[in-house]
Amino acid sequence: MQFLYPVFLWGLLAVVVPIIIHLLQLRRPQRLLFTNTNFIREVELTTIQRRRIQELLVLLLRIFGITFLVLVFAQPFIPARRQARGDRAVQVLLDTSPSMQAKGGGQSSLLQVAITQAQALGKGFSAATHFHLVGQIGGVVTQPAYLSKVIEIAQANNRTTWDGTASRQQLLSESQDKVYIFSDFQKGTSSVNVLQSISPDKEVVLVPQIAKATANIYVDSVWLDDAFVRMHTNIALHIRLRNGGTQVDANCPIKVRLGKQQVAAFKVTIEPGQSYTTVVQVQLASDKQMLGEVLSGDIPVTFDNSFFFALRPTPAIRVLEIGTEPVAQQAYSSESLFTYSFAKEQQVNYNDVRKANLVLLRELTEVNTGLQAALVEFVKQGGSIVVIPSGAAAERGSTSQLLRALGVGNVQWEVSPPALQEVAMPSAGNPFFKDVFGAQARQVVMPQVSPVIRLGRAGTDILRLRDGDSYLAEYSTLGMGHTYVFTAPFTKAYGDFTTQGLFIPVLYRLAMQSYHANQRLAYRLNEPVVSLEVATTTEANRQENAAFRLIRDSSTFVPTQRLRGASLQLEIPSEMNQPGFYNLQLRGKTLTTLAFNIDRSESNLITYSAAELQQQIGPNHPNVHILNADDQVNALANYQAEQNGQALWRYCLLVVLGCLLLEGLVLRFGRPKVLAKPVVAA
């Protein structure tokens, strides 16, 4: 047995006070009255032996009472069988992820049950114990502050998962602090492998929170068939729903809203663990971005009943042709999906090159240093270039130098152009020609060309000649962009490709391949990095280091960001954990709106039981303890007593009260009996 405050043991000297009182107490002589009459009086007859026993009992009770009263203040306790090394803070990890909103055994949520257990844990320790709520603001705090912070966790905006970054750092650290983890331990999110890497000197207690069996329908994903979204055109919006619960959900109502209008409503029945995919036809009435929402009506799990997405019309694909005369103008100008412009090779505006999606270099006579540098930078930033060589021998050197700068090597020029060769029919499995020839196979007249260069095998062939040589090849060796190279000029002397039916589909596919959707329909809050393209990257913003901000209602977040040309990468901060629409702003101007949703794995309510956790952890980790969900309150108290010792001051206080009660009983009922005897006068 040990004492928490041994200095109070000096109070045991107070036991001499009742001893001294007992020894110094002198009995006064009793006076017995006699009369010379026959009057009889009552006298008290007390034996000396009985009086001594009574006084000794009172003395012993007072000594015991004072002794145990001193022990109450000294707070004795039985030391723990497992002693912690050093004076460490108790680590408590409360899982506050959205899945903890599921109902527990009663009407309370799992988070409320965990908070109650965490409070009981804190009250079981002494007032001198320090605590640290992992993942919460405040660091190491005292017991009263810990109890207050635990109550406030339910209203706090800071979400913590047991397998998050901060939690992993604490679990894998070499510190010997005790760690108590209150979580539902979802199979979709929890990585029990981290428990196998815990130091053997660290005591970890897992307190699984078991939810009621229920259904939970949520939106797994939404997507479009076509990457090109046009106004006043039916758009097939695919919605995949999934049941992440353990029971079937019958006739769950689903609503789809776009802007302020409801565009679809239906009911679904989904078995546990199964999915259901449907298609909703929607239209964009203007060229502005439209915000949408998919609503599910299942209860009682409601944190994932809303799925947010954003639809915006595809901006026109900008095509820039550089050459002596326009060839692709008629093809691109007849389709509203493209914006076509032409520039002669000596009159190129480099700013137009940076803004374009696709640049066609048609039989240039000379590529100066400035234009070559602009084209190389354009490809590095994700642009696409189509190089159409010239048949003139004087222009080969400039074209070869440009191809080498773009990462296209091993180019061999034909000394004399060979005879016309037929272009081979492209493979139906080539993704470049997806949906080009229609569902039914038909005979296509293929062009005949006379190539002037031979390409190495470093690229990917899109079109080949009958002899197997390349006619159109793709290279992705420079930055994020693509370089496409034709081996024959477009002039009539080198073939009839521009007059055949394959010409326009190939040009369209080249332009479409150059387009990269700069924004997805929806993002997840657990994504570490979000990449998109922004149009406003002016030199003034670069010089002033203006920061992009994500704003939702009154909340403003400034994420870590990297800007390379028009490509912007944002690292989502951990504090940004509320789903909804966020405006991306730069210098107070809204550039676009992003839709963020909860991690889909949070909606999967399948969890590990205590037995499954023990099986996953294995027998080689005796320092990891799992409390059975059937009687977690008693199990937690027993484990706490085992780890931290058994406090005895309560029992000492009961002994003090018992001594006072017994002393009163002895003084009340220990009086001698009164006997009546006659006294006869002489």
Tell me the pLDDT tens digit for each residue of 420-465: 889 998 877 777 887 666 554 456 788 999 999 988 777 888 999 9
Give me the architecture of the 317-434+445-514 domain, per CATH.
Answer: 3-Layer(aba) Sandwich (3.40)
pLDDT at 172: 63
pLDDT at residue 266, as a whole number: 94
Asked if residues 562 and 532 have their Cβ atoms less than 8 Å apart, the reply is no
Burial class (CB in 10 A: 0-12, 13-18, 19+), 387: buried
C-alpha angle 292/157/139, rounded to 5°?
150
HSE, CB side, 13 Å, CA atoms: give it for residue 59. Answer: 16
The CB density around residue 177, as the number of other CB atoms within 10 Å, is 20
Residue 242: the pLDDT is 95
All CATH 3.40.50.410 domain ranges in the chain, comma separated: 90-211+607-644
Q: What is the pLDDT of residue 42?
A: 47
* pLDDT value of position 629: 62
In whole angstroms, give the CA distance from residue 255 to residue 450.
59
- Is the Cβ–Cβ distance between 78 and 1 less than 8 Å? yes
For position 392, what pLDDT does the model report? 84
CATH 3.40.50.880, the chain: domain bounds = 317-434+445-514
pTM score > 0.85 for this model?
no
For CATH 2.60.40.10, the residue range(s) in the chain are: 217-314
Domain 529-597 has CATH 1.10.150: no
451-505: pLDDT as tens digits: 999 887 778 889 999 888 899 999 987 777 899 999 999 988 899 998 888 898 8
Low-confidence ranges of the chain (pLDDT < 50): 26, 28, 38-45, 82-86, 440-441, 538-540, 542-543, 674-676, 679, 681-682
Report the pLDDT value the prediction gives residue 543, as an integer from 0 to 100.
47
CATH number for region 90-211+607-644:
3.40.50.410
CATH topology of domain 217-314: Immunoglobulin-like (2.60.40)
Full strand arrangement of the beta sheet holding 589-597: 523-524, 589-597, 580-586, 548-552, 555-557
SS3 of 334, please? coil
What's residue 665's pLDDT?
A: 85
pLDDT of residue 682: 47
